[in-house]
Amino acid sequence: MRSLGALARILVAANAAGLAAAMLRSSRPAEIPEQFGRIAITLEPALFICSALFYALSPALSRLPYAAGLAVVLGLSALVAAAVGSFGAPVDGMPEATLALWSAAYALLLAAALAAYFRLRERAFSPALAEARLQALQARIRPHFLFNSLNAVLTLVRREPARAEEALHDLADLFRALLADSRKLVTLADEIALTRQYLALERLRLGERLAVDWKVDPQARNALVPPMLLQPLVENAVYHGVEPGTGRGEVRIEVARERDRLRIELSNPYHAEHQHRQGNRMALANIEERLALHFDVEAVLDTAIEGERFAIRILMPARSGEAR
């Protein structure tokens, strides 16, 4: 009841039903706008009131058994529609009481149809299926730098054993995160720490060629994000933006919390002649699909070429709390 995607689907479905009713009531196409206008006088206020009411009641409804919660939703939808319908525009001389009853019946039918749709959708995206899809998506994230990192560690074993041991710990942490439960959100602070470990491994190979500019809003550190969200984006930036160059390449990472939204921006040098390298679009599509599975339409990922840099921007809900 508090999902932007669910609200959008409800609004579209309800207005589509209103338009269908207007078409059935009209004897010719020219009458459809007038009929829809009459329906909208009752439909739109009822939609607005129900949306606001269910948004406010969402925490209480979520604690009820499904059947009880559904009964409350259906009952309130009918009551609101009846109340609004009693003040609606007359329809062919129909008494107010009759109009209120018809409005309640239509609302009950529409609410039941929408409830059935969301129930089917929930089953389609059941935890088992969602877990399987997330695991399959996350399984694609196999850092290509594994063998390079191991080779870099081997060169340090005798010369700098302490640094080699630290690098192996970083590598172990990365793969531990990769194998973690992908259904659980993690704090942004943990994701940043993991990304810093990845960057430490890349510096073993790239040295001073790899520069990173971090700008992290302290208020954003407790925000919950999908696991392995930031690290693959930074890996992409290094692979496609820093490695192809011959000089110093800078990766810029900015994270900010803007009220109830979390904004993540990342940019890296853009080398047009190297864009035939595979994996960039696949990695971005992977991230985009995982965001959709966790946040539906409330999360957005955009990319742009800005001069000599490639930029990625993510907007998503800023949910705070402990990792879950």
Q: Show Cβ contacts of residue 116 under 8 Å, excluding neighbours closer than 6 positions.
A: none
Alpha helices in 3-95 (DSSP H): 4-25, 32-62, 66-85
Does the pLDDT value for residue 179 go beyond 70? Answer: no
Phi, psi of 278 (to 5 degrees): -80, 155
Does the pLDDT value for residue 132 go beyond 70? Answer: no
Does the pLDDT value for residue 323 go beyond 80? Answer: no
Residues 2, 55: contact at Cβ < 8 Å?
Answer: yes
- What are the structural domains, with CATH classification, of the chain? 4-124 (no CATH), 128-317 (3.30.565.10)
Buried b / exposed e along 106-140 (16+ C-beta atoms within 10 A)? bbbebbeebbeeeeeeeeeeeeeeeeeebeebbee
Question: Could you tell me the strand order of the sheet in which 300-306 lies?
Answer: 210-216, 249-258, 261-269, 309-317, 300-306
pLDDT digits (tens, 9 = 90+) for 195-220: 898 888 888 888 889 999 999 999 99
- Rounded CA-CA distance 80/138 in Å is 45
Does the pLDDT value for residue 36 go beyond 90? Answer: no
pLDDT band for position 25 (cuts 50, 70, 90) = confident
Residue 137, pLDDT score: 57
- DSSP letter for 238, please: I
Residue 266, pLDDT score: 95
pLDDT digits (tens, 9 = 90+) for 252-288: 999 999 888 999 999 999 887 766 555 556 678 878 8
Residue 131, pLDDT score: 63
pLDDT digits (tens, 9 = 90+) for 223-253: 999 888 888 888 888 888 888 887 899 999 9
pLDDT digits (tens, 9 = 90+) for 299-311: 999 999 988 899 9
Residue length of the chain: 324
Find the mean pLDDT for residues 122-141.
Answer: 60
Residues 117, 70: contact at Cβ < 8 Å?
Answer: no
Does the pLDDT value for residue 142 go beyond 60? Answer: no
Residue 192, pLDDT score: 93
Beta strands in the chain (DSSP E): 186-187, 210-216, 224-225, 249-258, 261-269, 300-306, 309-317
Residue 136, pLDDT score: 55
- 10 Å CB burial of residue 231 (0-12, 13-18, 19+) is buried
Antiparallel, parallel or unpaired: β 249-258 and 210-216: parallel
Does the pLDDT value for residue 85 go beyond 90? Answer: no
Residue 278, pLDDT score: 53
Buried b / exposed e along 194-210 (16+ C-beta atoms within 10 A)? bbebbbebbbbbbeebb
Residue 303, pLDDT score: 92
- Rounded CA-CA distance 283/181 in Å is 19
Does the pLDDT value for residue 31 go beyond 80? Answer: yes
Residue 213, pLDDT score: 94
Residue 97, pLDDT score: 75
Antiparallel, parallel or unpaired: β 261-269 and 249-258: antiparallel
- Rounded CA-CA distance 85/79 in Å is 10
Q: Which one, of 217, 213, 165, 224, lies nearest residue 190 by Cα?
A: 224
- DSSP letter for 221, please: T
Percent of the chain with pLDDT over 70: 83
Average the pLDDT over each of 83-97, 111-125, 212-226, 234-248 and give the range with the smallest value.
Answer: 83-97
Dihedral angle over CA of 230, 232, 237, 238, nearest 10: 120
Phi, psi of 266 (to 5 degrees): -140, 135
